[in-house]
A and B are shown apart, each in its own frame.
Chain A
Amino acid sequence: MVTLARFTLLEALRTRLLWLFLVALAAVYGAAYFAQELAITESARVQIVFSATASRIAAVFVLSLYILTSVVREFNDKGLELTLSFDLRRADYILGRLFGFMLIALAMALLAGVPLWILAPLPAALQWTCALALELWIVAALSLFCVMTFTQLMPAASFVAGFYLLARSLSAIQLISDTSVVGFNVQSRQVMGWLVDALALVLPALDRFSQSAWLVDGAAGWSAVGACAVQAALYSTLLVAAAMFDFYRRNL
């Protein structure tokens, strides 16, 4: 398991993933500086919010795409069969790969967070960085689950993107479904409300993670980060178990 995690980390270093992410971050901070220059007022606020939001999205995008392409390449190169020909359980393979990806996620969260430690108040920036690492762990587990299940890049990437967008916007959808904007057809609204509530039970509330408001409107407090940690641990376990379930059922 540890060996697999180490090789996953080595692969990321040799494919220059972290350099690629640094370039993406440089572009994000350049654009944030441009936005700050355009702002008439609250320029620091504009810069912090823009850079935090954009680097969060960039981290999720780069990490998930890297995991998907890495595992798909392993499938295509028959590296998976070679690995499993050793005395290794399928569960160990999943866990080893996941630990490697989680280490990469941690490094990416640190890279994204360090500039904010200077720009924003330190406690808030630290909380934001921790929450980003936790969010990226969920994304890593989700990407691994999707690629193990779909085995192909396109469906896996589409599922990850759809899942992430839904998880980020579910609270707003819940609020909208609770409010009668149109004011008629109460039954259909109730059914929609139940469906959305049921969906909220099985999806992680990713909108509660790494909010840029923490950086500009006051720190959220470590209890909020603790709640994110519990959510990340629970959901990563669920996704890993689901990935294992699919992987054990597959004939190689």
Chain B
Amino acid sequence: MIARDERPVAGVPRAVLAILAAALALQMAWQGTQPKPVARAAALDTPPSVAALRVASLGEPIALAQLATLYLQAFDNQPGVSIPFRNLDYSRVTQWLATILGLDPLGQYPMLMAAQVYTQVPDAARERLMVEFVHAQFLQDPNRRWRWLAHVTIMAKHRLHDDALALRYARDIARLAPAAPTWARQMQIFILEDIGELESAKILLGGLLAGGEIRDERELHFLTERLEGMKNDEKQTPTTKNRHSEPSAPGSKP
């Protein structure tokens, strides 16, 4: 169909048509002979300083923090190449996460990535680096970041099999995060019980019940039963104390 203000194609000189067709064919042939792009994994660079990023954010540090989070999150899937977590430089990753938290201290996304994404690496050294990062960040704002430390406490207990580390984290939650719910602050009791430190667990649980901090009747009932259970266990098997051959809880009673 010919628009009103257009001439027919026959009005175009043949030379122009020939050049158009030839140039198109040559362009396609040229591009066809070019090597296909090759995927190369780029190393994760050191993040810029928080101060520099604040300047670059033009007054929108949260938006820049979110962009940086997405950049970091997508880093293991660069165009055409997928980098396994075990090949990532975890010290750089923690620097990026700390920078993002510096830009947006109230954001929880970097903590989630640290606690639940980057800890999935099948490498204990990297896992430890990441759980230590979560612990260090928790210490800066315990009441907002306790949930991520609670997650890595369970990880330390069941994946790293490091009861001492799990107990240290659980104690820090109980000690430093009053805003955390009671289940999180009771974790240390159950870890103590699990590693055979029944005496310590009983004292803590008894103190918790006596302190009147727990008001929910069902929870009160459950914990009282648990305390009774511990006492019964201790009576039936007095040797259960320190049942693990190598008690690993620091500061536990001998």
Interface residues of A (CB under 8 A from B): 38-41, 91, 171-176, 178-179, 181, 200-205, 227, 230-231, 234-235, 237-238, 241-242, 244-245, 248-251
Contact A250 B5 (CB under 8 A): yes
**B11-41 contact mask (Cβ, 8 Å, vs A): 1 or 0:** 1110011011001101110111010110100
**Nearest neighbor of A171 in chain B, beta-carbon distance:** B37
Instruction: Please name 13 further chain A to chain B contacts, defined as beta carbons within 8 Å, in addition to the given A40-B49, A250-B7, sorted by A numbering.
Output: A39-B48, A178-B39, A178-B80, A205-B31, A227-B34, A230-B30, A234-B27, A234-B30, A235-B27, A238-B24, A244-B12, A245-B16, A245-B20
Residues A205 and B12 in contact in the complex (CB < 8 Å), given A38-B52, A179-B80, A251-B6: no
Interface residues of B (CB under 8 A from A): 5-9, 11-13, 16-17, 19-20, 23-24, 26-28, 30-32, 34, 36-37, 39, 46, 48-49, 52, 55, 77, 79-82
Q: Which of A171, A231, A245 lies in contact with B12, CB distance below 8 A?
A: A245
Contact A248 B80 (CB under 8 A): no
- Cα–Cα, bound, A89→B13 (Å): 11
Contact A202 B16 (CB under 8 A): no
- Cα–Cα, bound, A200→B27 (Å): 10
**Nearest neighbor of B13 in chain A, beta-carbon distance:** A248
- Cα–Cα, bound, A248→B46 (Å): 56
Q: Which of B6, B28, B37 lies in contact with A202, CB distance below 8 A?
A: B28
Residues A174 and B48 in contact in the complex (CB < 8 Å), given A91-B13, A245-B12: no
Most central of A41, A171, A179, A249 by chain B CB within 10 Å: A249
- Cα–Cα, bound, A178→B38 (Å): 11
- Cα–Cα, bound, A140→B166 (Å): 65
A-B contact pairs, 13 of them (CB 8 A): A40-B49, A41-B46, A172-B80, A174-B36, A175-B81, A176-B79, A179-B39, A179-B80, A235-B23, A235-B27, A238-B20, A248-B11, A251-B5
- Cα–Cα, bound, A234→B9 (Å): 23
- Cα–Cα, bound, A204→B23 (Å): 12
Compute the total of residue contacts between A and B using a CB distance below 8 Å.
92
How distant is A98 from chain B, measured CB to nearest CB, in Å? 13
Q: Which of A38, A201, A245, A249 lies in contact with B48, CB distance below 8 A?
A: A38
Inter-chain contacts of B77 with A (CB < 8 A):
181
> Majority SS of interface residues in chain A?
helix
Inter-chain contacts of B32 with A (CB < 8 A):
201
Inter-chain contacts of B52 with A (CB < 8 A):
38-39
Residues A234 and B23 in contact in the complex (CB < 8 Å), given A249-B7, A251-B7: yes
Contact A244 B31 (CB under 8 A): no
Inter-chain contacts of A245 with B (CB < 8 A):
12, 16-17, 20
How distant is B11 from chain A, measured CB to nearest CB, in Å? 6
Q: Which of A38, A39, A241, A250 lies in contact with B20, CB distance below 8 A?
A: A241
**Nearest neighbor of B77 in chain A, beta-carbon distance:** A181
Residues A38 and B55 in contact in the complex (CB < 8 Å), given A178-B80, A179-B39: yes
Most central of B19, B37, B52, B77 by chain A CB within 10 Å: B37
Q: Which of B6, B16, B80 lies in contact with A244, CB distance below 8 A?
A: B16
- Cα–Cα, bound, A201→B49 (Å): 42
- Cα–Cα, bound, A244→B11 (Å): 11
Contact A238 B34 (CB under 8 A): no
Residues A249 and B9 in contact in the complex (CB < 8 Å), given A171-B37, A174-B36, A179-B39: yes
- Cα–Cα, bound, A242→B9 (Å): 12
**Nearest neighbor of B78 in chain A, beta-carbon distance:** A175
Contact B28 A250 (CB under 8 A): no
How distant is B4 from chain A, measured CB to nearest CB, in Å? 8
- Cα–Cα, bound, A231→B29 (Å): 11
Inter-chain contacts of B26 with A (CB < 8 A):
234
Residues A238 and B16 in contact in the complex (CB < 8 Å), given A179-B80, A201-B28: no
Q: Which of A205, A237, A242 lies in contact with B34, CB distance below 8 A?
A: A205
How distant is B32 from chain A, measured CB to nearest CB, in Å? 6
Contact B16 A248 (CB under 8 A): yes
- Cα–Cα, bound, A117→B9 (Å): 48
Inter-chain contacts of A242 with B (CB < 8 A):
20
Inter-chain contacts of B24 with A (CB < 8 A):
202, 238
Contact B7 A248 (CB under 8 A): yes
- Cα–Cα, bound, A181→B80 (Å): 9
- Cα–Cα, bound, A39→B48 (Å): 8
- Cα–Cα, bound, A172→B81 (Å): 11
